[in-house]
Amino acid sequence: MRLTRQQIEQFEREGYLFFPGLFSADEIGVLNAAVPELYSRREAYNVREKGSDAVRTNFAAHLISAPFARLARHPRMVQPVMDLLGEELYMHQFKINGKMAFEGDVWQWHQDYGTWLNDDLMPTERAMNVAIFLDDVTEFNGPLMFIPGSHKKGVLEAQHDTRTTSYPLWTVDDALIRQLVERAGGKHGGIVSPKGPAGSMILFHSCLVHASGSNLSPWNRVAVYLSLCAVSNHIRRFKRPEYIAHRDFTPIECLGDDCLRRSDPVDLPWKDGLPASALQTSLQEIGVTA
């Protein structure tokens, strides 16, 4: 799937693109069938909600589960980002975020590149997220919220919040959020929230400020997030474990557009458990010796 000039211009202006119903019910069914087994594992890559057994984030499913390994190489997700960044990509991060019914907690206002810069020493913002809805997303089950055009402000000042939720995040303070929302249109478009059926896809800039509220509804809101980075822009520090911030900078080779309907073999190096190396961390910058 390739982007048109109009779509590229819209992305540059607003910082995101939304594709309702891009994946079929059959394709999403294959992915949804694999989620319960992944979430059931008592492994470090399953981060659970604060005070709850519900999974907040599952990391690195593309190294464990065949359906998600195929999704990680899907041209509908990878090719549009290549169009925008103009070079080959590697997988910086792969998540299945589970905002579960009644238990899914908030994601505070933040920029993803803020975390990638501060924790991983990613040189520039030449990386972005692609999200796929595994459930229908409505106004009731904690949809994503974006501040259109906020990516144009570059890297914003952020604080490392380690207390609000079970997962630490570099967050943007309320005063700055008010300013950004007002500049984007205030009550008339200063915050947008793409909603749609399972199978919808969002592509958004790594500096786009976004958040989501808690899920107080009886409906799950599970979504997959691929964080794709230009190969030349790979991270320079391994402060976080490899299951969170990947260290294989090999360019992604796309499979066929029908890959989710096929059972072609894929490499699953972590299917039997995390290797010890996936838990190791270092504060040393790559290429710098003590």
- AA identity, residue 243: Y
User: What's the CA gap between 257 and 251, in Å, rounded?
Assistant: 18
Q: What pLDDT does residue 2 have?
A: 87
Q: What pLDDT does residue 288 have?
A: 55
- AA identity, residue 24: S
What pLDDT digit, counting tens, does each position of 167-201 carry? Answer: 777 888 889 999 999 999 999 999 999 999 999 99
Q: What pLDDT does residue 105 have?
A: 87
Model confidence at 289, pLDDT cuts 50, 70, 90, reads very low
Is 82:229 a contact under the CB 8 Å cutoff? no
What pLDDT digit, counting tens, does each position of 66-79 carry? Answer: 999 999 999 999 99
CATH class of 5-279: mainly beta
The 3-class secondary structure across 74-107, one letter per residue, is CHHHHHHHHHHHCCCEEEEEEEEEEECCCCCCCE
- Res. 290: pLDDT tops 50: no
Query: Model's pTM, two decimal places?
Result: 0.92
User: What's the CA gap between 84 and 277, in Å, rounded?
Assistant: 33
CA nearest to 140, candidates 102, 187, 110, 192: 102
What pLDDT digit, counting tens, does each position of 205-215 carry? Answer: 999 999 999 99
- AA identity, residue 44: A
Kindly give the interhelix angle for 5-14 and 75-85, rounded to the nearest 10 degrees. 70
- Res. 1: pLDDT tops 90: no
Q: Is 60 exposed, middle or buried (0-12, 13-18, 19+ CB in 10 A)?
A: buried
What pLDDT digit, counting tens, does each position of 257-272 carry? Answer: 999 999 989 999 999 9
Is 87:231 a contact under the CB 8 Å cutoff? yes
pLDDT (mean) for 131-156: 94
Q: What pLDDT does residue 48 have?
A: 92
**Who contacts 8 (Cβ-Cβ below 8 Å, separation ≥6)?**
83, 84
